């Protein structure tokens, strides 16, 4: 049998660290939890690949783009792509044995997979398509996910244990459907990015232990909402306008905007308004997972008054204001919100 040379082994190591192997390496040894989480992340990756494939052909198929005509629990019009991606996550976890409950932006109540519940102590929280408004114009989209361990027996089937702080997340991350498909995750041991190699059908390690710059020039916010904001947020944006060195970037998909900020620094804001102080974004499957990623990379995420990871939700689909990114930029926004300057 031909033995691979040491040199070839190293080349393979460098070029081909797959996601499941990387997750295993995050933990000491091959504990049951390490194997569970590796298998679980493999399923998240499969969902990402299925969604990416569907998106890449969407313009060529009938009945894939546009609205379904339904309105979801958030009161938002549902796109066909939202439904497709939501169902993809359900179907990949159905045979996993690992996940007993899934909770997403598109479902009023958590989805139970009873056959997994005797052994599957994990819950997946997810936003199947982040940035839905970009769907029909072939622009960047994302998926966001968080993994939590079930606490208690959930006898009444109301998943009340999910109403707890973001510190309870075991893992979290996102998939970015851009020119390439990327998966970024943390299990509390740094932030790591992977790029889908379509020829292999595998997510391959791109960068380990990503650190967000302490400050950056980008501010990312929908300024069309200016007239609705509290005066303190308006004051911050006025400050940015009169200060040299800021650049506005806002894509309509926060996975994409926050990924840019993770790599290059800056701040993303989706503040509340006078009418809706809680803002738009949902805590459990949007803000908290992204907060976990950004904090692990050395950044910060806050409502303006408290850290996102410390917020205890009152309900599954709770919304929260979000200010997230480089720590110096976030501190500046906070200072406007708390001190007015
Ligand atoms: P969605 O999950 O329904 O797409 O909502 C989340 C998205 C974010 O990705 C994005 O930053 C924001 O909503 C855009 O909202 P708006 O059009 O109000 O700026
Ligand atoms: Mg969303």
The pLDDT tens digits of the residues spanning 235-278 come to 999 999 999 999 999 999 999 999 999 999 999 999 999 999 99
The end-to-end CA distance of the chain, in Å, is 70
The alpha carbon of 154 and the centre of ligand 1 are apart by a number of angstroms equal to 31
Pocket of ligand 1 contains residue 253 by CB under 6 Å: yes
Among the listed residues 159, 205, 224, the one whose alpha carbon sits nearest the alpha carbon of residue 12 = 205
pLDDT band, very low/low/confident/very high, at 158 (cuts 50, 70, 90): confident
pLDDT band, very low/low/confident/very high, at 2 (cuts 50, 70, 90): very low
| Amino acid 1: pLDDT | 47
The residues that bridge with 141 in the sheet, in sequence order, are: 177
Cα–Cα distance for residue pair 184/173, rounded to 1 Å: 5
Backbone angles phi and psi of 278, in degrees to 5: -80, -5
The alpha carbon of 243 and the centre of ligand 2 are apart by a number of angstroms equal to 31
Pocket of ligand 1 contains residue 131 by CB under 6 Å: yes
Beta strands 111-112 and 141-149 are: unpaired
pLDDT band, very low/low/confident/very high, at 13 (cuts 50, 70, 90): low
Percent of the chain with pLDDT over 70: 96
Count of CB atoms situated within 10 Å of the CB of 41:
25
The residues that bridge with 335 in the sheet, in sequence order, are: none
Q: Can you give the length of the chain in residues? A: 341
pLDDT at 281 > cutoff 80: yes
pLDDT band, very low/low/confident/very high, at 295 (cuts 50, 70, 90): very high
The alpha carbon of 283 and the centre of ligand 1 are apart by a number of angstroms equal to 13
Percent of the chain with pLDDT over 90: 79
pLDDT tens-digit map of 183-226: 999 999 999 999 999 999 999 999 999 999 999 999 999 999 99
Cα–Cα distance for residue pair 251/262, rounded to 1 Å: 15
Which residue bears the tokens 């292999």?
A: 200
Ligand nearest to the CA of 76: 1
| Amino acid 96: pLDDT | 84
pLDDT at 10 > cutoff 90: no
Q: Which of 229, 280, 286 to mutate to test the pocket of ligand 1 (most atoms within 8 A of CB)?
A: 280
pLDDT band, very low/low/confident/very high, at 6 (cuts 50, 70, 90): low
The alpha carbon of 289 and the centre of ligand 2 are apart by a number of angstroms equal to 12
| Amino acid 147: pLDDT | 98
Cα–Cα distance for residue pair 236/206, rounded to 1 Å: 35
Cα–Cα distance for residue pair 220/261, rounded to 1 Å: 9
Task: Tell me the average pLDDT across 133-160.
Answer: 91
The alpha carbon of 17 and the centre of ligand 2 are apart by a number of angstroms equal to 30
Task: Tell me the average pLDDT across 316-329.
Answer: 97
Pocket of ligand 1 contains residue 252 by CB under 6 Å: yes
pLDDT band, very low/low/confident/very high, at 4 (cuts 50, 70, 90): low
Q: How much is the mean pLDDT over the chain?
A: 93
**Nearest atom (ligand 1) to Cα of 133:** 4
Q: Are 289 and 165 in contact (CB under 8 A)?
A: no
pLDDT band, very low/low/confident/very high, at 156 (cuts 50, 70, 90): confident
Which residue bears the tokens 């989480």?
A: 37
Q: Are 57 and 49 in contact (CB under 8 A)?
A: no
Q: Are 97 and 119 in contact (CB under 8 A)?
A: yes
| 321-263-38 Cα angle (round to 5) | 85
C-alpha dihedral sign at 225, 288, 240, 245: negative
Cα–Cα distance for residue pair 283/33, rounded to 1 Å: 26
**Nearest atom (ligand 1) to Cα of 268:** 11
Distance, C-alpha 3 to centroid of its chain: 42
For residue 21, the number of C-alpha atoms closer than 13 Å in the C-beta half-sphere is 12
Q: Which of 79, 133, 286, 319 to mutate to test the pocket of ligand 1 (most atoms within 8 A of CB)?
A: 133
């Amino acid at each position: 049998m031909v033995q691979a040379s040491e040199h070839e082994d190293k080349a393979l190591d460098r070029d081909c660290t797959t996601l499941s192997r990387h997750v295993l390496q995050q933990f000491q040894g091959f504990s049951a939890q390490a194997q569970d989480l590796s298998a679980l992340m493999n399923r998240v990756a499969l969902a990402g690949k299925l969604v990416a494939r569907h998106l890449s052909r969407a313009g060529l198929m009938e009945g894939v783009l546009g609205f379904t005509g339904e309105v979801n629990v958030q009161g938002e019009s549902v796109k066909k792509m939202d439904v497709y991606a939501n169902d993809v996550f359900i179907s990949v976890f159905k045979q996993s044995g690992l996940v007993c409950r899934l909770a997403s932006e598109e479902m009023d109540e958590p989805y139970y997979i009873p056959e997994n519940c005797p052994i599957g102590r994990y819950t997946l929280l997810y936003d199947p398509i982040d940035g839905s408004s970009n769907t029909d114009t072939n622009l960047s989209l994302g998926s966001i996910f968080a993994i939590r361990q079930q606490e208690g027996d959930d006898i009444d089937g109301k998943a009340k244990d999910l109403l707890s702080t973001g510190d309870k997340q075991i893992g979290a991350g996102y998939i970015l459907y851009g020119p390439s498909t990327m998966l970024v995750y943390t299990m509390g041991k740094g932030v790591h990015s992977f790029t889908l190699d379509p020829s292999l059908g595998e997510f391959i390690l791109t960068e380990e232990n990503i650190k967000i710059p302490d400050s950056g020039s980008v501010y990312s916010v929908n300024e069309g909402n200016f007239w609705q904001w509290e005066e303190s947020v308006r004051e911050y944006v006025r400050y940015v306008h009169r200060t040299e060195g800021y650049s506005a970037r806002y894509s309509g998909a926060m996975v994409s905007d926050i990924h840019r900020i993770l790599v290059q620094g800056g701040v993303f804001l989706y503040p509340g308004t006078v009418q809706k102080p809680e803002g738009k974004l949902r805590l459990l499957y949007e803000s908290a997972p992204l907060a976990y990623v950004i904090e692990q990379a050395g950044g910060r995420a806050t409502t303006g008054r408290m850290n996102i990871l410390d917020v205890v939700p009152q309900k599954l689909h709770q919304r929260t204001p979000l200010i997230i990114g480089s720590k110096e930029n976030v501190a500046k926004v906070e200072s406007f919100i708390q001190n007015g300057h």
